[in-house]
């Protein structure tokens, strides 16, 4: 019933348990990947006043089951991680720089988290710097290393499929006088290590190449590239945001000098990340105001989120093989069903070199944003590419760098699976895609 004083917000809040099918007082993370956010379709309705009279033109709610296939954009916080976060928020409130009892308690929590994150990538904890996320980690690495050279026009090598968090600081260095070489990739979406070798110059100050691409999932030959950069004496930075927790990462075995990470891609909260910096790597600060994090990143450390990141790293290490194997099976099931049932489709990027949870598929004759909306109305969250670039009119820079036409790039969709993804969800998604694509193609044919 709608009372006299009801607003839409109050109705949603009061009746969330009814319309969403769960007890509103259950655990905050009830439902895992089932979003706890008003999954309703709004329309003209038959709501009634508390006296029984119909209220014409009011809102009604139709229940829509919602499933999440956009884990590369962000992951839901894991229950174990949530517990670690809440525990730290409520009990560890000191400043980790303070020398008294409360400060030292926070310091212990921070260092415990540092050890857990370091363990996930087989690093020395002293080489892990906490940041606000992957973007800040990339900026500290790229700008810090290059500016430390002191050269007025240093040379930087990167690729055309990097995340904007790397391409942005590289562009800034270009504005400051640096020469930036941007390597293209072929249809595989995998950079050729020999192209890196051929691009090296005596004044090359940094090579920055991502580990796994956020849109394609393709994995780059980092170990091969690291051998080349090590021989040349050039630092190698790797954006590992989309590889962490999805595949084994050993920074020592890979031979990298810097490795960026993000908490919210591995079921930790947003707002925390880390940067691995190999001992001896020269870096200039890019921000100022304190000596925190061994002078790499000034500012009071976010101890609760760092603790949650540590818990997520420990969980990722324990579940790495299980998660990877299960998600690879589901991803292949999704791809094979789409390719078998829907004409005019294909996989973007190499199927032989990618993380297990990611698939990028083109649907010829379809506008990708329209398909995102159509699937969202059916209860499925997917994306056309990087979340930070959503809303952009230009086609994906990753897909066009591979040689795709602008039309095919705009017709491409990214599906990224997670721990909560099930076979039933995948099969339901395939049905929804088929119906949505057929509908959109009919509309396009009659336009």
Question: Which pLDDT does position 24 carry in this prediction?
Answer: 30
Mark whether 16 and 145 lie in a shared domain.
no
E-assigned strands of 229-333?
236-239, 258-262, 273-277
In tens, the pLDDT along 109-137 reads: 999 999 999 999 999 999 999 999 999 99
Structural domain for 15, as ranges: 8-31+41-56
Asked if the structure places residue 71 within a domain, the reply is no
Provide mean pLDDT across the span 317-333: 98
Mark whether 20 and 147 lie in a shared domain.
no
In tens, the pLDDT along 146-168 reads: 999 988 899 999 999 999 999 99
Question: Which pLDDT does position 297 carry in this prediction?
Answer: 86
Asked if the structure places residue 211 within a domain, the reply is yes
CB 175 within 8 A of CB 143: no
Asked if the structure places residue 94 within a domain, the reply is yes
Partners of residue 206 on adjacent β-strands: 156
Boundary (domain end) residue, out of 293, 315, 337: 315
Mark whether 272 and 340 lie in a shared domain.
no
Closest C-alpha among 111, 81, 86 to residue 96: 111
In tens, the pLDDT along 424-439 reads: 999 999 999 999 999 9
Mark whether 294 and 343 lie in a shared domain.
no
Mark whether 187 and 290 lie in a shared domain.
yes
Asked if the structure places residue 36 within a domain, the reply is no
Residue 367, SS3?
coil
Burial class (CB in 10 A: 0-12, 13-18, 19+), 242: buried
% the chain with pLDDT above 90: 77
Number of domains within the chain:
3
Give the confidence band of 173 by pLDDT, cuts at 50, 70, 90.
Answer: very high
Residue 192, CA distances (Å) to 187, 196, 365 in order = 12, 7, 31
- Helix ranges (H only) for 21-163 are 79-91, 101-120, 134-148
Alpha-carbon gap, residue 395 to 167, rounded angstroms: 16
Asked if the structure places residue 3 within a domain, the reply is no
Mark whether 220 and 91 lie in a shared domain.
yes
Mark whether 177 and 198 lie in a shared domain.
yes
E strand or H helix at 423 = helix 423-446
CB 348 within 8 A of CB 360: yes
Tokens linked to 267: 């079921």
Largest CA distance in the chain: 83
CA 260, 225, 360: angle at the middle one, nearest 5?
65
Question: Which pLDDT does position 155 carry in this prediction?
Answer: 98
Q: Is the pTM of this model over 0.75?
A: yes
Mark whether 332 and 284 lie in a shared domain.
no
Asked if the structure places residue 67 within a domain, the reply is no
Phi, psi of 358, deg, nearest 5: -115, 135
CB 127 within 8 A of CB 279: yes
Residue 109, SS3?
helix
Asked if the structure places residue 65 within a domain, the reply is no
Mark whether 201 and 116 lie in a shared domain.
yes
Q: In the annotation, is 388 catalytic?
A: yes
Boundary (domain end) residue, out of 289, 315, 341: 315
In tens, the pLDDT along 63-95 reads: 789 999 999 999 999 999 999 999 999 999 998
Q: Which of 88, 170, 305, 388 is catalytic?
A: 388
User: In this model, does residue 421 exceed pLDDT 60?
Assistant: yes
Question: Which pLDDT does position 406 carry in this prediction?
Answer: 95
Provide mean pLDDT across the span 135-142: 98
Mark whether 233 and 327 lie in a shared domain.
no
Mark whether 144 and 176 lie in a shared domain.
yes
In tens, the pLDDT along 272-295 reads: 999 999 999 999 998 888 888 777
Question: Could you tell me the CATH number of the domain that includes residue 119?
Answer: 3.40.640.10
Mark whether 268 and 344 lie in a shared domain.
no
Asked if the structure places residue 242 within a domain, the reply is yes
Question: Could you tell me the CATH number of the domain that includes residue 417?
Answer: 3.90.1150.10
């Amino acid at each position: 019933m709608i009372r006299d004083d009801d607003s839409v917000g109050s109705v949603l809040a009061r009746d969330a348990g009814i319309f969403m099918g769960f007890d509103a007082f259950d655990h905050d993370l009830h439902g895992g990947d089932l979003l706890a956010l008003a999954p309703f379709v709004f329309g003209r309705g038959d709501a009634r006043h508390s006296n029984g009279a119909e209220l014409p033109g009011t809102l009604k709610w139709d229940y829509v089951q919602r499933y999440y296939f956009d884990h590369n954009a962000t992951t839901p916080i894991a229950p174990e991680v949530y517990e670690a976060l809440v525990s730290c928020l409520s009990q560890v409130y000191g400043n980790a720089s303070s020398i008294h009892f409360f400060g030292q308690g926070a310091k212990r929590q921070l260092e415990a988290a540092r050890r857990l994150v370091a363990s996930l990538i087989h690093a020395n904890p002293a080489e892990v710097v906490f940041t606000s996320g992957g973007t800040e980690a990339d900026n500290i690495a790229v700008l810090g290393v290059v500016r430390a050279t002191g050269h007025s026009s240093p040379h930087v090598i990167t690729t055309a499929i990097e995340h904007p968090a790397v391409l942005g600081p590289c562009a800034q260095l270009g504005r400051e006088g640096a020469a930036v070489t941007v390597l293209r990739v072929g249809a595989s979406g995998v950079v050729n290590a020999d192209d890196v070798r051929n691009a090296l110059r005596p004044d090359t100050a940094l090579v920055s190449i991502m580990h796994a691409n956020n849109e394609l999932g393709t994995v780059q030959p980092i170990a091969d590239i690291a051998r080349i950069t090590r021989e040349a004496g050039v630092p190698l930075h790797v954006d590992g945001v989309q590889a962490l927790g999805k595949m084994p990462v050993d920074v020592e075995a890979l031979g990298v000098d810097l490795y960026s990470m993000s908490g919210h891609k591995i079921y930790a909260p947003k707002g925390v990340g880390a940067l691995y910096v190999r001992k001896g790597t020269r870096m200039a600060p890019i921000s100022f105001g304190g000596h925190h994090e061994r002078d790499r990143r000034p500012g009071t450390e976010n101890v609760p989120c760092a603790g949650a990141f540590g818990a997520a790293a420990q969980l990722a290490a324990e579940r790495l093989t299980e998660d990877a194997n299960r998600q690879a099976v589901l991803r292949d099931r999704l791809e094979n069903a789409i390719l078998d049932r829907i004409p005019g489709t294909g996989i973007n990027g190499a199927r032989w070199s990618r993380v297990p949870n990611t698939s990028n598929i083109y649907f010829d004759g379809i506008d990708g944003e329209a398909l995102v909306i159509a699937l969202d109305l059916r209860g499925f969250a997917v994306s056309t590419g990087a979340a930070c670039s959503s809303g952009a009119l230009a086609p994906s820079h990753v897909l066009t760098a591979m040689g795709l036409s602008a039309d095919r790039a705009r017709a491409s969709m990214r599906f990224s699976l997670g721990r909560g993804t099930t076979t039933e969800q995948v099969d339901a998604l395939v049905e929804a895609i088929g119906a949505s694509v057929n509908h959109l193609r009919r509309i396009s044919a009659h336009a």
